[in-house]
Amino acid sequence: MKKFYELFMIVIGTAILALGVNWFLEPVGLVTGGLSGFSIVVKTVSENIIGYGIPLSVTTFVLNIPLFIIIFMQRGFNFMKKTLYGVVSLSLALWYTEYIPNIFNVNDDLFLCSIFGGAFVGAGLGIVLKVSATTGGTDTLASIIKFKFPYFPIQQLMLIIDGIIILSGFFIFGPKNGMYAILAVLVTSKVISVILEGMHYAKAAFIMTDKTEEVAKEVMEKIPRGATGLKARGMYSKNDKEMLFVVVSQKQITQLRDLVKSIDEKAFITIADVREVLGEGFIENYGESL
């Protein structure tokens, strides 16, 4: 069941990614890195040279073949299995989404295409990465280089490879398109981050007070949220203390701050952002509490 779910999510993710490429990026020449971005360059160059643009799906699939052969020789089939699903699914998606009419009337608006294209690609990639799969391409190439030269950070390798592809877009489509392509990359990165890290934003409060028992009781009764006592030691006073750790929704942070100050005006409160909260008593009714 889990395997079927993962395959289903790969299909959905690659379909969304392909729509972003075919609807927004390729029509206006926005090269955002990855093999899909390189495929846009190949299609435009081949159209100018031979009068026929090589389809994105063909370039994506063909260029992944040597990468798969190398990585299979390096690490075996199990390592590349999910990536193989992702590549085949993306290649097919890039083909069939060409025949799906664009429901967004953005024409050649570079700004809208960069925003929507980046969002679609980010959402698609995020869904694929969420099930620990990839769509092949530059991350596979980076993984191959990393295996051969382990002292190179893989993030830096991917940045260099994608940077070269984006730079090629500057020369083919001009600096204006190149700058909008960078905007699309930023949007893609943000959307991927939101999908992988979650959208359940919350606040964490670290409370230093001499009235921990009273504060904890009020927090649990009036907000209500759990409170955890942590051992702490003041390095200036050298005194051992107890610090409270409380996680609340964004709406509740003002209530928490006022509650603590009403009990102990001298309380020291540190508030930090929390990206995602998992656990009984919080995530189950998070949407309700926000």
Q: How far is CA 81 from the centre of its chain?
A: 22
189 and 266 share a domain? no
Please give the pLDDT value at position 146.
79
Please give the pLDDT value at position 54.
93
Name the band, by pLDDT with cuts 50, 70 and 90, for residue 280.
low
- Residue 50, pLDDT above cutoff 70: yes
Calpha distance 259→203 (Å, rounded): 15
- Residue 238, pLDDT above cutoff 80: no
Contacts of 51 (CB under 8 A, 6+ apart): none
Residue with tokens 């009714």: 285
Calpha distance 125→35 (Å, rounded): 13
From 145, 178, 197, give the residue that closes a domain: 197
Q: Per the structure, how many domains does the chain have?
A: 2
Calpha distance 206→26 (Å, rounded): 49
78 and 31 share a domain? yes
241 and 131 share a domain? no
174 and 213 share a domain? no
pLDDT averaged over every residue in the chain: 84
From 134, 164, 197, give the residue that closes a domain: 197
> Average of pLDDT values for 173-196?
88
Residue with tokens 């379909």: 15
250 and 166 share a domain? no
Name the band, by pLDDT with cuts 50, 70 and 90, for residue 215.
confident
148 and 251 share a domain? no
Calpha distance 193→170 (Å, rounded): 26
Range of the structural domain that residue 144 is part of: 2-197
Calpha distance 147→166 (Å, rounded): 24
119 and 224 share a domain? no
Please give the pLDDT value at position 95.
94
CATH of the domain at 230: 3.30.70.120
220 and 193 share a domain? no
- Residue 284, pLDDT above cutoff 50: no
From 152, 181, 197, give the residue that closes a domain: 197
Helices of type H across 150-245: 154-173, 175-197, 212-222
| Residue among 146, 177, 138, 152 at smallest CA distance from 44 | 177
